[in-house]
Amino acid sequence: MTIINRCLTLFLFTSLISGCEKKETLTPDPVPREIKDIEILSGNNQLAHRGAPLDTIVIRVQLNASEDRSPLRYYALKSTDNSSFIVHSQVRYNDHMIIKALWHPSSLEDVPTVKFYVSASCTDDQMARENCNEAKSVSLKAAFLRPWKSVYQSSRGSFTTMYDLYFTDEMNGVAVGEGSGIVRTNDGGKSWIQGDPAVDDSHAYIIAFTGRDTALVSLTNNYPAFTYDGGKTFFRPDKWTPSIIGHQSSSAYYLQSRDIIYTVGWRGNIAKTTDGGQTWDRSGSFNVLNRLNDLIHIGKDTLFTCGTVGFLARTTDAGKTWKQQPLQLNNDLNKIYFVNSSLGFAGGQLGTLIRTTDGGGHWDKISTGIRLSIIAIHFFKNGHGFLVSAGGEIAESHDAGLSWKLILKDNYGAGNLRKVVIKDEKTIFGLQGSSILTYDLTQR
């Protein structure tokens, strides 16, 4: 056989053998399981109370291999070992994973941070060392809320109890109390100076202004002192009859003028004078055990008062007659406030808040998130308002009081406030014991 024939035979034999072989099916390489992207849905940049966990952190992870149902690995690189970051769940939704976690920053940190790594293949050690290229990460930050702080402390300490406070304008304010003298500010409340008392025994319990200059201060046994210069000096009137008999028997005063004065107090008593306190008309009083706690004037002849065991009453004839409102409520009401002649609120025990939009004809109960007794209500423009409780809780509304968000918990620098004044949208003042406290609303 020639060389040519031998080569041809070998070629044909090789081709025959190849044709008999089964064709091999090529399988594509599996899709890498690493993730595409990661983002924080909620919980970043929270304001934290020292010693308390944050709201739930929600993180979304965009997956590369949608058919893989096994959980991801994660690692939280914290700014201090004293904090904790615990993943509570990983839930699969189509091509992404939702991770929920709780972060409890250490109270020793000023600016707590967490870098949160997620991977399908990296080990915990690799992620802790930050040397795994397949891992994706997000950074979370938080800041600690500053608590209530003291801006005035009586030098007499426990011998002093602050009872009432009033700002005559943006810069000038007056505070009174038992054993306190007259405490004043002329810089918007940044600093307070104790001055001479309204009377010799230094005891004062309520201060009620009409305008910037004229005010009544309720003293021991419900006797008054008056000022005509914004609280710089006080004098005792020559003729005065106690409106409601008894020490601290009045809870609130409203001065329509120096001569026309209303007051409410213990056992449902309501009194009005038109001669500067020489004589009083008590015909509008209620024969009840309730103590009336607050009084507000919302128009020429319309006033409201509220008190214990859900008591609320209104007059529309300048105090000649009063009618109790039919509330299905037994919580004590401490404070009543009207934004205008239609929109009003009354707040009290256990965070109770009721709201009217028809001038007090009907009242609806509103959820606030506050746990303790509401003692201050105030609204500004565009439905923006605040509530403050005796425990220092603060709630905020942006929809004219329909809904509220708790922005400060109780006992965070204040735990037993007697009086609160919401001065403006930046600052709140409170009286606690012998101190004047303040809270900065701009830190959010």
Q: What is the pLDDT of residues 267-298, one digit of tens each?
A: 999 999 999 999 999 999 999 999 999 999 99
Mean pLDDT on 50-55: 88
Task: Give the span between the Cα atoms of 409 and 242, in whole angstroms.
Answer: 40
Confidence band, pLDDT 50/70/90 cuts, at residue 14? very low
Residue type, 222: N
Q: Do residues 112 and 232 share a domain?
A: no
Q: With 90 as the cut, is the pLDDT of residue 63 above it?
A: no
Domain's final residue, options 129, 144, 159: 144
CATH of the domain at 119: 2.60.40.10
Q: With 60 as the cut, is the pLDDT of residue 27 above it?
A: no
Structure tokens at 153: 């402390």
Q: Do residues 126 and 171 share a domain?
A: no
Contacting residues for 360 by C-beta, under 8 A, at least 6 apart: 304, 312, 314, 325, 344
pLDDT for position 15 = 46
Least confident of 66-75, 248-257, 338-347: 66-75
Q: Do residues 122 and 238 share a domain?
A: no
Task: Give the span between the Cα atoms of 350 and 330, in whole angstroms.
Answer: 11
Task: Give the span between the Cα atoms of 102 and 190, in whole angstroms.
Answer: 38
Task: Give the span between the Cα atoms of 139 and 103, in whole angstroms.
Answer: 13
Residue whose C-alpha is closest to residue 216's, from 202, 200, 235, 243:
235
pLDDT for position 337 = 98
Q: With 50 as the cut, is the pLDDT of residue 218 above it?
A: yes
Q: Do residues 211 and 113 share a domain?
A: no
Between 110 and 409, the more confident residue is 409
In a domain, 86, yes or no: yes
Mean pLDDT on 392-419: 97
Tell me the three state secondary structure of residue 12: helix
Q: pTM (2 decimals)?
A: 0.83
| Cα dist from 348 to 60, 333, 401, 411, whole Å | 42, 4, 15, 18
| Cα dist from 158 to 111, 162, 185, whole Å | 36, 10, 22
In a domain, 1, yes or no: no
Handedness of CA 69, 75, 76, 82 (dihedral sign): positive
Domain's final residue, options 104, 129, 144: 144
Q: With 90 as the cut, is the pLDDT of residue 439 above it?
A: yes
pLDDT for position 68 = 62
In a domain, 29, yes or no: no
Task: Give the span between the Cα atoms of 321 and 281, in whole angstroms.
Answer: 11
pLDDT for position 120 = 85
Q: Do residues 69 and 217 share a domain?
A: no
In a domain, 422, yes or no: yes
What letter does residue 233 receive in the DSSP assignment?
A: S
HEC profile of 264-290: EEHHHCEEEECCCCCCCECCCCCCCCC
pLDDT for position 21 = 44
CATH of the domain at 241: 2.130.10.10
Q: Do residues 360 and 407 share a domain?
A: yes
Handedness of CA 384, 387, 392, 394 (dihedral sign): negative
Q: What is the pLDDT of residues 368-383, one digit of tens each?
A: 999 999 999 999 999 9
Is the distance from CB of 324 to CB of 306 less than 8 angstroms? no
Q: Do residues 218 and 320 share a domain?
A: yes
Q: With 60 as the cut, is the pLDDT of residue 40 above it?
A: yes
Domain's final residue, options 144, 162, 186: 144
In a domain, 228, yes or no: yes
Mean pLDDT on 305-320: 97
Mean pLDDT on 364-368: 96
Task: Give the span between the Cα atoms of 8 and 16, in whole angstroms.
Answer: 12
| Cα dist from 312 to 27, 245, 326, 347, 363, whole Å | 80, 22, 8, 11, 11
Residue whose C-alpha is closest to residue 124's, from 87, 83, 80:
87
Q: Do residues 126 and 154 share a domain?
A: no
| Cα dist from 90 to 20, 30, 86, 198, 256, whole Å | 52, 23, 12, 66, 63
Residue whose C-alpha is closest to residue 278's, from 223, 241, 319, 243:
241
Q: Which domain holds residue 133?
A: 37-144
Q: Do residues 178 and 139 share a domain?
A: no
Buried-exposed string 314-347: b where 16+ CB fall within 10 A, e elsewhere: bbbebbeebeebebebebbbbbbbbbeeebbbbb
In a domain, 30, yes or no: no
Neighbours of 47 (CB within 10 A): 14
pLDDT for position 95 = 84
Is the distance from CB of 184 to CB of 231 less than 8 angstroms? yes
The structural domain count of the chain equals 2
Mean pLDDT on 318-339: 96
Q: What is the pLDDT of residues 144-190, one digit of tens each?
A: 999 999 999 998 777 899 999 999 999 999 999 999 889 999 999 99
Q: Do residues 78 and 160 share a domain?
A: no
Mean pLDDT on 56-73: 81
Calculate the average pLDDT of the chain. Answer: 90
Is the distance from CB of 107 to CB of 50 less than 8 angstroms? yes
In a domain, 24, yes or no: no
In a domain, 325, yes or no: yes
Q: Do residues 200 and 78 share a domain?
A: no
Q: What is the pLDDT of residues 81-120, one digit of tens each?
A: 889 999 999 998 888 899 999 999 998 888 899 999 999 8
Between 247 and 202, the more confident residue is 247
Q: Do residues 276 and 378 share a domain?
A: yes
Is the distance from CB of 136 to CB of 35 less than 8 angstroms? yes
What letter does residue 316 receive in the DSSP assignment?
A: S
